[in-house]
Chains A and B, each alone.
Chain A
């Protein structure tokens, strides 16, 4: 029976979860007051607007035990109606443009847009295609950009935490 063993290990062994990434290098001042405000949470709705799915794989990784996104009060939600943040990937294909705009419209204010990955930031290798708008900021106002192809989970975490700090000031 492996269930009891796995559960017991979960209690007895130390957690895999790693310390929060250092945000100083992003230029985000982390005052004690800002820390306290982390009490509130941000809900994130992810929108794939033409990604190769590489970005999504790393966004998924944020939920694994190493990064454990939820400990920071960040969580993914199923509906834009419950979201504070749209986390957008991909070069915004023209076939997804309207869906992205409608998702944004369905998100209640205040709301923030994160462009994650090279494609979302400037179209990446897909810039100039007949099938792409070319970047998220061609369609929505972008609040923060997280570079990488795909961005690593650590980069994503840093970007989201930075947004959270900024968003609450």
Chain B
């Protein structure tokens, strides 16, 4: 992957912003360090990072003209105290006034304590508001949803997140590499492999180390098992939210079988801490490989039945078709990746666009659809499940021999990586000093998907929200960190 990092002045920063507005480049991330901000974007075949010093504690707002950046800037303001000049939304985002300090990663100041949050106004006759969360009815992550409805119809949804902000980037800064890697693997538990791979690749890029090829292939195997487990779980859960429990029960059985195979192969059901900078922590044994082959056989046998069931059930289709539509232009504007982007005509997949091993040696397709509804997001998952099965076969057939790790040099530098998780592209940027990480930025794909959920639900009935929400399955922990 080609990437450049350049330091710019305010003019250069504005130019970089223009290229996003014009659609020539897609925003990958926007983050702070004490007295500095960085913006990463992708073009056709390269990634660029522009960095701007902020001696006065502010920088020209990107979000004022490019809305996908708004929440990223709010997070920078909360964590580092760096203000986006000209922003249209100066409200706190991660900081709920509950921490002991403000700007914990910048010039820390005393907290002012909690203040009421000003939700956007929606005025009109007979509109009513429905507050939901942070504690929800089901077993899901906490967040607050504020619906404004006219009768049954949602006029506006506004999300308020930050409840599971654990201070992850602050904990990584200053941590030795191995501890930092374990923290990164807990950004979003369902994507622990994707985060661990992205972290390892960024660290390896910073140190100029290449992991051995067997490690790359085993990382690929873990990543596809993770994708398989999550897609199977999601397909079932979406159907469950459309009151079709049969699908849910069968998908949950398959998901459990994936986790059991992962446990046999790598010693942990979710494969946490199995990918480390320099390689992988666990090598695959013949017994592990056999467990994965058995799994692939079972899923190949059972999954087509479930797809037929989904396809044949009119009452289910009635709920998913035409519900929660995301328009293609909006998805592209946000650079939404994963099934949310691909169900709305977006074809971006980090495994293809910036091929990293083992994907540069494997054959697979990136499915896309144009409808942008719940049904399309289900079908992308179905297609990707099939692709993952084929990828797992290819990996097991072609797994190179050799050591599973390479020794890591101690060194300093900056590195970044873009890795395709089940939800979309995970971006990680790191700055290393000998023996430790000095700053880190982890950007979950959900940053560019949550805002689309607000758009998707508009005009739908309140009762369809759980279904829409599940079809997005955005991460709270990955965004709140």
Contact = CB atoms under 8 A, between A and B. Distances in A.
B330 interface: no
A91 B166 contact: yes
A149 B312 CA distance: 39
Contact of B99 (A52, A76, A131): A131
Contacts of A150: 189, 270
B163 A93 contact: yes
B135 A52 contact: no
A89 to B, nearest CB: 10
B98 A64 contact: no
Contacts of B183: 125
B313 A93 contact: no
A48 B269 CA distance: 20
Interface string B187-202: 1111010000000000
Contact of B253 (A5, A58, A66): A66
Given A65-B252, A130-B99, 7 more contacts: A50-B166, A61-B259, A90-B166, A95-B163, A99-B135, A126-B166, A129-B167
Contacts of A51: 141, 164, 189, 477
A134 to B, nearest CB: 11
B137 interface: yes
A21 interface: no
Interface stretch (B211-219, B303-311, B431-439): B303-311
A-B pairs, 3 with minimum CB distance: A54-B189, A78-B137, A131-B167
Interface in B159-217: 162-168, 170-171, 179, 182-183, 186-190, 192
Interface string B4-28: 0000000000000000000000000
A55 interface: yes
Given A94-B98, A130-B100, A6 B186 contact: no
Nearest to A90: B164
A95 B104 CA distance: 14
B325 interface: no
Interface string B97-111: 011110010000000
A95 B164 contact: yes
A33 interface: no
A78 B475 CA distance: 21
Given A54-B272, A149-B272, A95 B256 contact: no
A77 to B, nearest CB: 9
A41 interface: no
Interface string A21-38: 000000000000000000
Contact of B141 (A48, A61, A125): A48
Interface residues of A, number: 52
Given A54-B272, A57-B190, A6 B246 contact: yes
Given A2-B308, A130-B99, A99 B188 contact: no
B34 interface: no
A169 B167 CA distance: 41
B96 interface: yes
A125 B134 contact: no
Given A99-B134, A129-B170, A94 B99 contact: yes
A2 B190 CA distance: 30
B443 interface: no
A60 B308 CA distance: 25
Interface in B465-479: 475-477
Contacts of B313: 3
B139 A59 contact: yes
Interface of B: 96, 98-101, 104, 134-135, 137-142, 162-168, 170-171, 179, 182-183, 186-190, 192, 233, 246, 249-250, 252-253, 255-256, 259, 269-270, 272, 305-306, 308-309, 312-313, 475-477
Contacts of B167: 126, 129-132
A38 to B, nearest CB: 23
B140 A54 contact: no
Given A56-B141, A79-B137, A125-B171, A96 B255 contact: no
Given A51-B141, A52-B188, A63 B252 contact: yes
Q: Which of A50, A56, A65 has the largest count of B CB atoms less than 10 A from its CB?
A: A50
B476 to A, nearest CB: 7
Contact of A53 (B96, B99, B141, B182): B141
A103 B171 CA distance: 28
A80 B135 CA distance: 10
A46 B136 CA distance: 9
A47 interface: yes
B142 A53 contact: no
A108 to B, nearest CB: 16
A99 B131 CA distance: 14
B252 A96 contact: no
A56 B171 contact: no
B422 to A, nearest CB: 12
A97 interface: yes
B138 A78 contact: yes
B98 A3 contact: no
Contacts of A79: 137
